[in-house]
Amino acid sequence: MIEIREAVTKKEMKEFIMFSFELYKNNPYWIPPIIADELETFDKTKNPAFQTAEAHFYLAYRNNKIVGKVAAIINWEEVNLLEKRKVRFGWFDVIDDIEVTKALLLKVEELGQKHHMNHMEGPMGFSNLDKVGILSEGFDQIGNMITWYSLPYYITHFEQLGFKKEKEYIESDFSFQGINPEPFQKASQLIKKRYELRSLNFTKTKDIMPYVDKMFDLFNETYSKLQSFVPINDIQKAYFKKKYISFINPEFIKFILDKNDNMIAFAIVMPGFAKALKKANGKLFPFGFYHLLQARKHSKEVVFYLIGITPEYQSKGVTAIIFDEYYKICLAKGIETCIRTPELEENHAIHNLWKHFNSKITKRRRTYMKNI
């Protein structure tokens, strides 16, 4: 018999997190999250997402042993601003037993029905900056710190339970050694001169902070036309600024300004932390923090996390400036591999940016939807 219990206490929330460690303990491709970071994400007193969202965390038990988990989420900004009556589900992990999956997703459906939602979709987090999707290809590829790993039977469970594919994402990478910089180096100088643009480069995190709010405003503007986009609000800006910006190597954050010092483009690249997170195995101490710091300084991989260009400049070659700046820093740091994080299949503007980089698709992932 399967019993579903809601995780409420700190002990239960830690058990919620640690189930994934148990499920994937021998899997070489799963990247463990930092346990303390996950606990903070689920803490209603610390994560500002809870100011505009409701979330419940469910654990499935059989014979008093945890066999699955899911978070059921309603993002009220999504419901009220986009008029999408959707209950989200995320942080989903389960043993290969469709009855466990069915019982967990029934709890998600019940929350949706309680608030008169008309469909459910997942896996996804609170917002567009959270992890998203289950793998449909690339099960034999190592993940990274901003994606979930999942097993092939997840898709089988969802489809047998009547869920339909909703959104498709692709991930890819390319070799830095295979890049010919000459085209975008020449274009960069021409575009800067033609539109009176300049790039901002940093060596200290404190120098980045005055620009971060403008960056999030541009992020909201850039992605606003995607059908599932929910803007980042001011409280979330402050939270992400404190939590993430200081963690990124400052040389990997680039801003482009016009002649009036208006930000017209930005890009964030992160060092590849996958191997360091494997070594840390969820803990910052005693050695996890050291491994992460080493990766921050010496990783030979970079992950392209976010890029945004104001609509007015999206067809004016501004990406040449961005690529030129990243080529310089990646060359100096001896970068070998560049990784593109999940991009919506429908986001053709983003895909077009990479057409000259000989990218190879390494993973596909998707969300699933069901009417309720």
CA torsion sign, 333 to 258 to 209 to 126?
negative
| Same domain? 74 vs 19 | yes
When pLDDT is cut at 50, 70 and 90, the band that residue 225 belongs to is confident
Cβ neighbours of 62 (radius 10 Å): 16
Q: What is the CATH number of the domain that holds 28?
A: 3.40.630.30
Among 67, 127, 143, residue whose Cα is nearest residue 99: 67
Angstrom distance (rounded) from CA 61 to CA 2: 6
Angstrom distance (rounded) from CA 242 to CA 165: 35
| Same domain? 222 vs 312 | yes
When pLDDT is cut at 50, 70 and 90, the band that residue 227 belongs to is low
Structure tokens belonging to residue 212? 């971060």
| Of the residues 138, 171, 204, the one at which a domain ends | 171
Q: Is residue 351 predicted with pLDDT exceeding 90?
A: no
pLDDT in tens, 141-153: 999 989 999 999 9
> What are residue 157's phi and psi, to 5 degrees?
-60, -50
> Secondary structure of 120-172 in the HEC alphabet?
EEECECCCCCCCECEEEECCCCCCCCCCCCCCCHHHHHHHHCCCEEEEEEEEE
| Same domain? 58 vs 21 | yes
Q: Percentage of the chain surpassing pLDDT 90?
A: 83
| Same domain? 150 vs 100 | yes
Task: Look at residue 65 in the predicted model and tell me its pLDDT.
Answer: 98
| Same domain? 133 vs 227 | no
| Same domain? 157 vs 187 | no
| Same domain? 218 vs 306 | yes
| Same domain? 147 vs 290 | no
- Which of the residue ranges 64-73, 108-117, 285-294 would you say has the lowest mean pLDDT? 285-294
| Same domain? 261 vs 290 | yes
Say if residues 154 and 134 touch (Cβ distance below 8 Å).
yes
Q: Is residue 336 predicted with pLDDT exceeding 90?
A: yes
Mean pLDDT (the chain) is 94
Within-domain flag for 275? yes
Within-domain flag for 368? no
Give the total number of structural domains in the chain: 2
| Same domain? 95 vs 225 | no
Within-domain flag for 363? no
| Same domain? 140 vs 213 | no
pLDDT in tens, 53-111: 999 999 999 999 999 999 999 999 999 988 999 999 999 999 999 999 999 999 999 99
Say if residues 348 and 226 touch (Cβ distance below 8 Å).
no
Within-domain flag for 216? yes
Within-domain flag for 362? no
| Same domain? 66 vs 47 | yes
Task: Look at residue 87 in the predicted model and tell me its pLDDT.
Answer: 98
Within-domain flag for 372? no
Length of the chain equals 372
Within-domain flag for 255? yes
Angstrom distance (rounded) from CA 84 to CA 369: 13
Say if residues 256 and 214 touch (Cβ distance below 8 Å).
no
Task: Look at residue 333 in the predicted model and tell me its pLDDT.
Answer: 94
Within-domain flag for 158? yes
Which domain does 134 fall in, by range? 2-171
Longest dimension (CA), the chain: 69
**Choice between 225 and 321, residue whose per-residue pLDDT is larger:** 321
Among 141, 150, 156, 85, residue whose Cα is nearest residue 123: 150
Strands (E), the chain: 2-7, 53-62, 65-75, 86-94, 119-122, 134-137, 164-175, 198-200, 253-257, 263-271, 301-309, 337-344, 360-371
Angstrom distance (rounded) from CA 142 to CA 339: 12
Give residue for tokens 């940016």: 353
